Structure formats: C-alpha cells, structure tokens
Copies of this chain bind each other. A is one copy, B any other.
C-alpha cells in the first residue's frame, strides 16, 4: 500500500508480500489472520469509520473459507475493534471506552487517547529485598531481590499518577541500566528479556493521600486517590510485575462500558 508503484496491471499482486498465511504453521489460520488484521488496525492501516474489505475479498486474499474469515471478524467485533452492518459492510470502530479496563494499555497510550501529553520522571530505581506483600504477589520468597522503579507520571505538565513497579530481579538482571523516563518498561521487558505480559489481575481502591503522596502529586492533603494494584503475568502465567498506581482522584477517571 505504501511504495511499489509499478506500471503494469499486476501491481495489486506485488503489494501482497507479507499478508499470506502459512498453512503449515502450528498456528491456526484464524489466529494468523486475526493477528495480522488486528495489528493493521492498531497501526491505523484504516481510518476510523473506514470500510474494511468484504468477507469475500478477504476469503480470496487469504485463501480461506467464509466460516474461518467470519471467525476472525467475530473476534474483532467482540473486542470492539470493528463493527459490522448488515447490507453495508465492516468498519473500523472508534477506539474508545472499555479499554483501559479490559485491555492492558500503557500510561502513555492512555493519556494520548485522552488527548493529553504524557511525561515521566523517574523518582527511584533500585534493587531491594522483597517485602512480604510484594513477595506474595510475585510468588517469590520475602527478601528475594526485586527491581523497584518509581515514576511520577505527568499529563499536560501536571502530575497525574505515582507508579511503583516491582519486578523479580532474577527475571530481568541489569534492568536498572535502562532509562525509564524515555523507554516504556513493557518494551524493555519484551525486547531485552523476552518477557511478554499477556494477562493481569488488578484491584481498584479509593484511598486518602499521605502527606508525601499529596506533595508529589501537588494536591491538597487530605484528598482522594484512585489506587490500583496490578499483578501482570507472562504467557506461562508466571507473575512478572507487581504494580502500584496512585492516580489523582480529582483528575483521573476510569471509563467503561457494561453489558447485560
């Protein structure tokens, strides 16, 4: 779609280099096609509201049956990435609500979706022995080494959130040498340590500021904070991060959609 401007009639063929599915892969066809379409959608290959190719076109493109193609579409619909209208077509959905409460997204992405400009200050980055609560969440022994990274998250030049990450140091030795003001933690975990976070469990509470947190966040004391504790897991369901988030109650709101 980008380059490859050829002057013959086969130019459409030339453009399809990657999107071919592999029938001998261990991955099911529907999974391969899903991965491909999802990443294209997330990378804005189509604009919001734009119509996607029809079922028939994609069946031909990928060489699969209609049922398989529909399986992919149904999954994308259920995840809110696309919507379909009988007789009209399939369209890119507005990226909106629900994510952030169902999807793991970074602070940076979260703020951008809200139309705010994110920044980060690293307040601490050190190796510490795991406290009982941290050890419990990460399923390690109390006293085991933990990489502790504390960051102040800023939106439109105003403090928004204090974020404390605890990682089992065994899993990511040397991780503190990276600069987490500029580099997303998840990216470093994925690219440098081959740790991919696929699932997380979180608890959301309301708490009152301590004098310290109030000062850091620049809010009066006492005021209310949204406090989120999150344990993230890799593909083998091993805990890889224990995260504590303290959001300003006066600035930050969680949005989501419920269904019957």
CB contact under 8 A between A256 and B206, given known A78-B78, A224-B225, A225-B224? no
Q: Cβ of A22 < 8 Å from any Cβ of B?
A: no
Interface residues, chain A, CB within 8 Å of chain B? 67, 74, 78, 97, 101-104, 196-208, 222-227, 230, 247, 249, 252-260
Cα A206 to Cα B104 with chains together (Å): 21
- Chain multiplicity (copies): 2
CB contact under 8 A between A259 and B224, given known A249-B205, A249-B207? no
Looking at chain A's contact residues, is the secondary structure mostly helix, strand, loop, or mixed?
strand
CB of A225 within 8 A of CB of B200, answer no
In the complex formed, the residue of B with least CB distance to A200 is: B258
* Minimum Cβ distance to chain B for residue A40 (Å): 17
CB of B225 within 8 A of CB of A257, answer no
CB of A256 within 8 A of CB of B101, answer yes
CB of B203 within 8 A of CB of A206, answer no
Name the one of B202, B204, B208 contacting A204, with C-beta atoms under 8 angstroms: B204
CB of A205 within 8 A of CB of B223, answer no
Cα A260 to Cα B190 with chains together (Å): 13
CB of B205 within 8 A of CB of A208, answer no
Cα A158 to Cα B149 with chains together (Å): 38
